[in-house]
Amino acid sequence: MTTYDVLIIGAGASGLAAAAAALEKGARTAVLERNDEPGRKIRATGNGRCNYSNVDAPRSAYVVDRLRQLAGIEPAVEEGRIYPRSFEAATVAEALAKAASGADMFLGTKAVSAKKDVDLFAVETEDGRSFVSRALILACGGKAGIQYGCYGDGYKLAKAFGHSVERPIPALDAMVCAEDLEALHGVRAQAKATLSKESGVTCGGEFCSIYVTKDPEGSAVGKTPETALPVSESGEVQFTRNGISGIPVMDLSRYLKLEAGSVFTLSLDFFPELSAEELDGLLNERKQSFGMGLKGLLPEKLAEYIEEPGKGRSAKDLCFPVTGTRGWKTAQVTRGGVRLEEVDPESFESSLCKGLYITGELLDYDGPCGGFNLNWAFYTGLAAGGSAGKEG
Ligand SMILES: Cc1cc2nc3c(=O)[nH]c(=O)nc-3n(C[C@H](O)[C@H](O)[C@H](O)COP(=O)(O)OP(=O)(O)OC[C@H]3O[C@@H](n4cnc5c(N)ncnc54)[C@H](O)[C@@H]3O)c2cc1C
The model carries a pTM of 0.90
| List of residues 6+ apart from 101 with CB closer than 8 A | none
Q: Same structural domain for residues 344 and 289?
A: no
Q: Same structural domain for residues 252 and 351?
A: no
Q: Is residue 330 part of a domain?
A: no
What confidence category does residue 227 fall into, taking pLDDT thresholds of 50, 70 and 90?
A: low
Q: Same structural domain for residues 208 and 78?
A: no
Give distance in angstroms: CA of 244 to centre of ligand 1.
24
Q: Same structural domain for residues 239 and 320?
A: yes
Packed helices 13-24 and 60-71: angle between N→C axes, nearest 10 degrees? 70
pLDDT digit string, tens, across residues 291-335: 999 999 999 999 999 999 999 999 999 999 888 888 889 999 998
Q: Same structural domain for residues 254 and 370?
A: no
Mean pLDDT score of the chain: 90
Q: Is residue 185 part of a domain?
A: yes
Q: Is residue 31 part of a domain?
A: yes
pLDDT at 203 over 50: no
> Can you give the CATH number for the domain in which 24 is found?
3.50.50.60
Q: Same structural domain for residues 35 and 140?
A: yes
| CA–centroid distance for 25 within its chain | 30
* Structural domain ending residue among the three candidates 279, 306, 325: 325
pLDDT at residue 380, as a whole number: 97
Return the residue whose CA atom lies nearest to atom 9 of ligand 1: 371
Q: Same structural domain for residues 259 and 185?
A: yes
Q: Same structural domain for residues 31 and 112?
A: yes
pLDDT at residue 138, as a whole number: 98
Give distance in angstroms: CA of 294 to centre of ligand 1.
42
Give distance in angstroms: CA of 275 to centre of ligand 1.
42
pLDDT digit string, tens, across residues 74-101: 999 999 999 999 999 999 999 999 999 9
Give distance in angstroms: CA of 51 to centre of ligand 1.
13
What confidence category does residue 222 fall into, taking pLDDT thresholds of 50, 70 and 90?
A: very low
Q: Same structural domain for residues 109 and 181?
A: no
Q: Is residue 378 part of a domain?
A: yes
Q: Same structural domain for residues 214 and 91?
A: no
With contact defined as beta carbons under 8 Å apart, do 381 and 14 qualify?
A: yes
Q: Same structural domain for residues 84 and 116?
A: yes
Pocket test for ligand 1, best of 9, 40, 41 (most atoms within 8 A of CB): 41
Q: Which residues have CB under 6 Å of ligand 1?
A: 9-15, 32-35, 40-41, 44-46, 50-51, 110-111, 139-141, 144-145, 149-150, 153, 332-333, 360-362, 371-374, 377
- What's the structural domain count of the chain? 2
The domain in which residue 34 lies consists of 3-169+335-391
* Structural domain ending residue among the three candidates 295, 325, 355: 325
> Which atom of ligand 1 is closest in space to residue 32's alpha carbon?
43
Q: Is residue 318 part of a domain?
A: yes
* Structural domain ending residue among the three candidates 304, 325, 346: 325
What confidence category does residue 202 fall into, taking pLDDT thresholds of 50, 70 and 90?
A: very low
Q: Same structural domain for residues 356 and 258?
A: no
